[in-house]
Amino acid sequence: MASLQPVRGTHDILPEDSRKHRRVVETAREIAARYGFGEIETPVFEFTDVFARTLGETSDIVTKEMYTFADRGGDKITLRPEGTAGIARALVSNGLAQDLPLKFFYAGPMFRYERPQKGRMRQFHQFGVELLGVATPQADIEVVALAAHILDALGVKDRTKLELNTLGDHESRTAYRAVLVEFLAKHRNSLSADSKERLERNPLRILDSKDDTDKKILKDAPPFSAYLNPASQAFFNQVCDGLDALGIAYERNPHLVRGLDYYCHTAFEFTTGELGAQGTLLAGGRYDGLIEAMGGRDTPGVGWAAGVERLAMLTGDPPPPPRPIAVIPMGEADPPALKLAEDLRRAGFAVELGYTGNMGKRMKRADKLRARAAVILGTDEMARGAVTLRDLDSGEQTEVPLADLRSRLSAFR
């Protein structure tokens, strides 16, 4: 029988990596709460229409990457590939529109069928935020500031670059789309296969093409900025002014786009050059038409999502966990040692119990666990109502009455 392995594109998150991931998520949670965001958790799977409507029937995620299946009742179900769609659905299905504005953050696994690469798995984890019900640039500024704050707290902001663009309003995008299609149609035969398909369905996405030939063609494309109407330009200027006022540096990237009609105005990404091709750590933007596309009322929204795995790669090793106290029973002391370990845990100490073996083997295990001290409980100590306390750093060893043990152990927390 072949040995069992995880499915391609998935991996086991062992305790060391789990601590790195937890530091990313807990840091983000704590800072998001300071900005007034509350945690929301949507189901890991939704009806497929939730994502098909919000991500676009022609998007790569919908056409190539979603894990979709029919459940036993015949319903078409999809494992969530991203977080925004589920939150938009939750707003509509829970009747939350009357409570706007709303500020949510979320954390959890997402699923996309794509080629596994460094920092990109088929099951991956995101932390994200959504601010719903605020149509003014202040919302865009606040979510970008929150992202910068989290990256700074994780110690990685100075190793990232904030790229910023405006997609304008619907009127601006419509005007530019016509000009872009006219320009690209002249180069149709030279475009990549993906861009040829997008030219018919979603031409703005071509601006974000990674194909080298497409990039050369796009260098001569008319600039989006020339087709922004005054309202769109004013919106973007206010976002830039707000970031300037907060001291958040950015670079304008005219090729940074979101291809679907309900995306508008601000688009942004924090990127790094330290993770190879997968350089985007956090990306987001404004999506004022999304809730309406899902059957809700017209509701402005802006948000972002960050890759937990990618952030964890940059943050390095987190501080080690607290060093435990090793309780080591000898002779007939197993039952009282078990109770002593439980009492110490309830008193707030991290405790590892020595299970089997002679004293040497149990002490070796305590060393492997980086125990700070050992509490040795044997037959003689039991008779005297005491334990032997050994400082595993200095080697100093003393006998301590059980009644004094907690106070003596406080020095080893």
Residue-range domains of the chain with CATH: 15-169+229-315 (3.30.930.10), 325-412 (3.40.50.800)
Q: Which residues contact 317 (CB under 8 A, 6 or more apart)?
A: 20
Residues sharing a CB contact under 8 Å with residue 86, sequence separation 6 or more, in sequence order: 42, 43, 46, 50, 80
> Each residue of 296-326: pLDDT tens digit?
999 999 999 999 999 999 998 888 888 999 9
pLDDT over 90 (residue 20): yes
Residue 1 has pLDDT above 60, yes or no: no
- Outline where DSSP puts E strands in 55-181: 68-70, 76-79, 102-111, 123-132, 161-166
**Spatial distance between the Cα atoms of 275 and 4, rounded to a whole number of angstroms:** 30
With b for 16 or more beta-carbon neighbours within 10 A and e for fewer, the 28-52 pattern comes to: beebbeebebeebebeebbebebbb
* Cβ-count burial 269-306 (b if 16+ within 10 Å, e if not): bbbbeebeebbbbbbbbbbbbbbeebebeebbbbbbbb
Provide the pLDDT for residue 103. 98
Residue 243 has pLDDT above 60, yes or no: yes
- Dist. CA 243–CA 145, nearest whole Å: 8
**Is 24 or 201 the better-scoring residue by pLDDT?**
24
The residue that leads in pLDDT, 84 or 55, is 84
pLDDT digits (tens, 9 = 90+) for 197-213: 888 878 888 887 888 89
Q: What contacts 193, CB < 8 A, 6 or more positions away?
A: none
What is the per-residue pLDDT across 363-376, written as a single tens digit (0 to 9) for each?
889 989 999 999 99
- Using one digit for the tens of pLDDT, what is the confidence trace for 91-100? 999 999 999 9
Mean pLDDT: which of 7-21, 60-74, 247-261 is highest? 7-21
Give the pLDDT of residue 183. 92
What would the two tokens of residue 245 be? 């006022």
Q: For residue 124, what are its two tokens?
A: 């991956």
Q: For residues 99 and 44, what is the distance between their CA atoms, to the nearest angstrom?
A: 25
Average pLDDT, the chain: 91
Q: Which two tokens stand for residue 193?
A: 């296969």
Per-residue pLDDT at 282: 96
| More confident call, 53 vs 25 | 25
The strand pairing partners of 401, in sequence order, are 386
In the predicted model, what is the mean pLDDT of residues 322-346? 89
Closest CA to 176 of 299, 261, 253: 261
Q: Which parts of 264-348 fold into alpha helices (H)?
A: 290-293, 308-315, 334-346
- The answer, yes or no, to whether residue 179 has pLDDT greater than 70, is yes
User: What is the spatial distance between Cα 122 and Cα 114, in angstroms, rounded to a whole number?
Assistant: 6
Tell me: the pLDDT tens digits for 119-155?
679 999 999 999 999 999 999 999 999 999 999 999 9
pTM of the model as a whole:
0.89
Least confident of 19-33, 81-95, 183-197, 302-316: 183-197
Burial 316-337, CB ≥16 within 10 A → b, else e = eebeeeebbbbbbbbeebeeeb
Task: Summarize pLDDT for 36-66 with one digit per residue, the tens.
Answer: 999 999 999 999 999 887 776 656 677 678 9
Give me the pLDDT at residue 350, please.
94
Element (H, E) at 361: helix 359-368
